[in-house]
Amino acid sequence: MTDDRLALCPQVRFRAVDQEGVIIHTERGVVIVVNALGLRTLELIREQGSQRAVLERLATEYEAPETTIAADLDAFLDQMRAQQLLEAA
């Protein structure tokens, strides 16, 4: 983890739909569906604003080792950055 600060782009909206999340980039027209873990990660990004805090909460909530969660979180955040859904640090 290089930069700990996390924030969704101001143009990004998301909401829960059943057990999934729908992410919309309002300017680019991008729509992405994520699973329950992706939805929870988005909620924690909004609430916590720190990659470290998100990692700790996910590890606690899912009762999994931080190393396992960290790899998955890094991959998810890389995808979010590639889709320009996170603010540049």
Is 70 within 8 Å of 54 (Cβ atoms)?
A: no
Structure confidence by residue, pLDDT tens digits, 38-85: 999 999 999 999 999 999 999 999 999 999 999 999 999 999 999 999
Structure confidence by residue, pLDDT tens digits, 34-51: 999 999 999 999 999 999
CA dihedral 28, 46, 73, 6 (to 10 degrees): 80
3-state DSSP helix/strand/coil percent for the chain, to nearest 5? 45, 25, 30
For the chain, the structural domain boundaries read 12-82
Is 30 within 8 Å of 83 (Cβ atoms)?
A: yes
What integer best gives the mean pLDDT of the chain? 93
Output the pTM of the full model.
0.90
Bridge-partner residues for 17, per DSSP? Answer: 20
